[in-house]
Amino acid sequence: MNKVNEKKDLEYYMHLPYRVEVYPEPDGSGYTAAIPDLPGCITCAGTMEELAEMIEDAKRTWIECSLEDGLPIPDPSSVDDELVPVPHTIHRQLVERARRERQSVTQLVEAALASAVR
């Protein structure tokens, strides 16, 4: 086992607040999720509920493989970030507007927040 991971087990890493990025599929068929701090940790699903389960499974698999291979596992770079839950109806409206404006939901929300705090 790598000295970096020596005293940290799977459950330790599973409880760290890794940032998850979610992108709607352009054709409306579902969503893709990725954990930027864990390169290659990505999955997709038809619904947000399925996606939540699948990204946790992908994270667990990524961490298990890294522990087994003795590879370093980075701590989250977003420990100070705070996630804000958004009701499904608002999320759907954001997705639809982002599609109309040909931008990502993240870009749309960042622009709206930036203008709100100016």
- From CA 80, how far away is CA 31, in angstroms rounded? 25
Residues in the chain: 118
Ordered structural domains, the chain, with CATH: 1-82 (3.30.160.250), 84-118 (no CATH)
**pLDDT tens digits for 75-95?**
888 545 556 777 788 888 888
- From CA 104, how far away is CA 25, in angstroms rounded? 11
**pLDDT tens digits for 37-77?**
999 999 999 998 899 999 999 999 999 999 999 999 998 88
Q: Is 32 helix (H, G, I), strand (E, B) or coil?
A: strand
Identify the pLDDT of residue 91. 84
Report yes or no: 43 and 61 within 8 Å, Cβ to Cβ.
no
Residue 9 in tokens: 């087990």
19 has pLDDT over 90: no
Identify the pLDDT of residue 78. 56
- From CA 53, how far away is CA 47, in angstroms rounded? 10
100 has pLDDT over 80: yes
